[in-house]
Structure 1
Amino acid sequence: MSHLAHDPQSPAAKEITFDDFLKVDIRIGTIMRTEEFPEARKPAYKIWIDFGTGIGIRKSSVQIVEKYTVNNLVGKQVAAVVNFQSRQIGPFMSQVLTLGFADEAGAVTLFSPDKSVPNGARLF
């Protein structure tokens, strides 16, 4: 992620078409399992997210230790990009990009719906 992505004063990204937007598959899932990730270069957790029967459970590495503990993540619904290529993070294969927003200090707050929705629901 570029430095500008964390700057709330940065200008909007280059305009895209609706078809470009549809290429990014953003879904809701429920965190089912969490673990500490001591092997990560930056403090992180390993999470397993259930996206329902169409996608199943996918793993993600998340740098959210400033605002969350492994104990308060299970059961939380989160948004993630499910069609990025998997990425090896040390000994862990991260299969989705879990989405969040950085605060002024750079600490990430996860992107979640304010009401429960079905696992696998797609952002539109």
Structure 2
Amino acid sequence: ETRRRAKRESAQKKKKDKKPREEKTLKFGPTELTGYESISAHFMGLLKSEPHGEPLTGTKFEEVKGLLCYHPSAAEKVKDLKGLSLGASKEYPDTICFHVIHKDDSTEDFSWRKCTQNALK
């Protein structure tokens, strides 16, 4: 019991001593968002509100293209970019994600989380 209490107190002290992480502001097309929670809420909102399979246009297209630029394989993914849309993941059919539409009409999905985590490193 004493050991558990000491371990718990040590963990609480480490948490308290930890400096708050500075929140980065990132630009996604014309939109600036600060911190993971804000970015997450914004892009999750897009995933929930936009029709699946329809090409994104205007500001939404620019925002998602800006997001894609932070993907670890961005150069490869934007090569021959024709458009962006959203729909079910090929690997995880129950998961909705963004898709790159290439000039040959092939599509490739990508993870907004991977983009965000890479951007906030």
TM-score by length of 2: 0.24
From the two aligned structures, give the one with the greater helix fraction: 2
Structure 1 or 2, whichever has the larger Rg, is 2
Higher relative contact order (CA 8 A, sep 6+): 1
TM-score by length of 1: 0.24
From the two aligned structures, give the one with the greater strand fraction: 1
